[in-house]
Structure 1
Amino acid sequence: MKNNTNSAEGIIKSSNDQLMNDEWHHHTGKTDIYVGLKRIDVWTALGWHDIKQRYRRSVLGPFWFTLSTMIMVGVLGFLYSTLLNQKITDYLPYLGIGLIIWQYISTCVNEGCVGFIASAYIVKQIRMPLTVHVARIACRNFIILLHSLPVVIVLMLFFGTYPTAEFLMVFPGLLILFLNSVWISLVLSMLCARYRDVLPIVGNVLQVAFFFTPIMWQKDLLKGREWAADFNPFYHLIELIRAPILGHPIEIESWVYSLILLVVGFVLSQILMIRFRERIPYWL
């Protein structure tokens, strides 16, 4: 018989056995988010398990994602640096960081839409915080993000660009990015569990948002229409990571927008969780 610890169900059942307490098993919509996020050991174990299963028997494993991203960055970098009249040594790192962070955000959003649907068999059988399922999604994609970003930093070193003291601001930026991806996935998981038409709508919105977000182009090119980027939350989330890696200070607007987005997002998540937490298993 297969060892339970080799499956996601085994990890969850093992966690349930170790967490036999009122807080874990008798949570409500009011405490679901708090209890779920607090169990870092559970959703990190599940996220790491997903990574191992996804790239099982693969030589490069998750680095296939990094390799494909770098190929795209190389091709698009040489093309658009010429079209936009940008210096290649500056444009490639700018594009690379933007693409990596965008792929993290878009993957969390797309997978978040089916977060509860994909975990329906667990939701219906085991009493546990639903937030664990979306934190699992954010965690596994965050792991891929963390081993993709260093490749861009190595590329910068190759071009003779070295990190500055601003680089330290990457760490709080990554935390804010991660927490924002959690609440976004949580809200979309609830909406898509109830309304399945939300998934294709979100996919179309992401495709449009990519071209409206300063990833392949820079904000300065808008020439008087910078407000289009200033009101784009994706731009500010990307800048929290990209600016300090490139050695630039993070604009105060990016901090404000990202933190407001974080607070408002979790308040919305809490309201939806309180109202619909007990209905979700019946929607699946």
Structure 2
Amino acid sequence: MQATSTLDRPSAPAESSSRSWRKAFKDITEGLSQRQLWAHLGWQDIKQRYRRSVLGPLWITIGMGVTAAGLGIMYSTIFGQDPSEYVPYMTTGFMIWYFIQGCLTAGTEVFIRNEGLIKQLPAPITVHVLRTVWREFLLFLHNLVVYLAILAIFLPPVNWTLVLMVPGLALLLFNGGWVIMLLGVASTRFRDIPPVVTSFMQLLFFMSPIVWPIELLEQNAGPRAALAQINPIYHFVEILRAPMLGEPIAWHHWYVVIGFTVGGWLLALLVLRNYRARVAYWV
């Protein structure tokens, strides 16, 4: 059989054949159906990161535990907070932030890093998005062990609101999909996006109520504290952190997140329809 060189391939897919809603939705459905593939690849990403390590992925949990103990005690003293209340607040904030950060940073390189697989493996590009979301979810589960330890040590007032952690986490995962899709496609076309996103991550972290309590901002900033509502990270953190801590639910966080979910996926579907077939030529 005569091998076909990549030079013999057309430089770009035909517009009429590649841009269709049917193929966009087919890419998603086929990607979801190949669960064994992206689940295996996501788990292998974690194993590869800790290859030849004695403790392996357990280092994820240890790192989160050290962060919770060290920074929790230090920042509770700086902010004048009760450690029994602040440590669970900060720990859950870090857990959610690590997932969001992972989706943003890994999303910019999801197709670039998988150039070989995209060009050699005939699979939907959604597979690589699901692989990344699954990997970040597994990392979140590793950190969840620290949360259970926090419950045992500090005994925060967890109540029936804990069940809202399930839809909160589901929304977080669902939003991770469109964020990775958009950033992945955009970054394959414009290679300046990954360093730009990385540069803004630290600023985004300090602008979000991860280590600083939102109550302190409201006490010290007065009406200017309303500016925190502009930060979407704040709402994504709160829909999961409030149930985990057994705190009352501020329903406007859910409305904002659902709005971002609908708008984000509509934009992601549009990008998938128009540029799905071009990803293999851009990487």
> TM-score normalised to the size of structure 1?
0.86
1:128 is paired with a residue whose SS is coil
1:229 aligns to what?
Answer: 228
Q: In 2, distance between residues paired with 1:226 and 1:72?
A: 27
1:78 aligns to what?
Answer: 73
Q: What one-letter code is carried by the residue in structure 2 that aligns with 1:103? A: Y
2:247 aligns to what?
Answer: 248
Q: In 2, distance between residues paired with 1:37 and 1:183?
A: 14
1:116 is paired with a residue whose SS is coil
Q: What one-letter code is carried by the residue in structure 2 that aligns with 1:155? A: I
Q: In 1, distance between residues paired with 2:118 and 2:227?
A: 40
Deviation of 1:30 (Å): 4.2
180, 194, 217: which is aligned to 1:199? 194
Q: What one-letter code is carried by the residue in structure 2 that aligns with 1:241? A: L
| Contact kept in structure 2, 1:29 and 1:278, CA below 8 Å | no
Residues 1:90 and 2:89 are matched in the alignment: no
1:37 is paired with a residue whose SS is helix
Q: What one-letter code is carried by the residue in structure 2 that aligns with 1:165? A: W
- C-alpha RMSD of matched pairs (Å): 1.6
Q: In 2, distance between residues paired with 1:109 and 1:146?
A: 18
Deviation of 1:29 (Å): 2.9
Deviation of 1:55 (Å): 2.2
Output aligned runs, 1:259-278, within 5 Å: 259-278=258-277
Q: In 2, distance between residues paired with 1:177 and 1:37?
A: 17
1:217 aligns to what?
Answer: 212
1:208 aligns to what?
Answer: 203
Unaligned runs of 5+ in 1: 1-26
| Contact kept in structure 2, 1:47 and 1:136, CA below 8 Å | yes
| Contact kept in structure 2, 1:80 and 1:216, CA below 8 Å | yes
> TM-score normalised to the size of structure 2?
0.86
Q: In 2, distance between residues paired with 1:210 and 1:130?
A: 29
Q: In 2, distance between residues paired with 1:214 and 1:164?
A: 23
Output aligned runs, 1:93-132, within 5 Å: 93-132=88-127
Q: Which has the larger radius of gyration?
A: 2
> Does 1 or 2 have the higher relative contact order (CA < 8 Å, sep 6+)?
2
Q: In 2, distance between residues paired with 1:98 and 1:84?
A: 16
Q: In 2, distance between residues paired with 1:138 and 1:40?
A: 12
| Contact kept in structure 1, 2:50 and 2:57, CA below 8 Å | yes
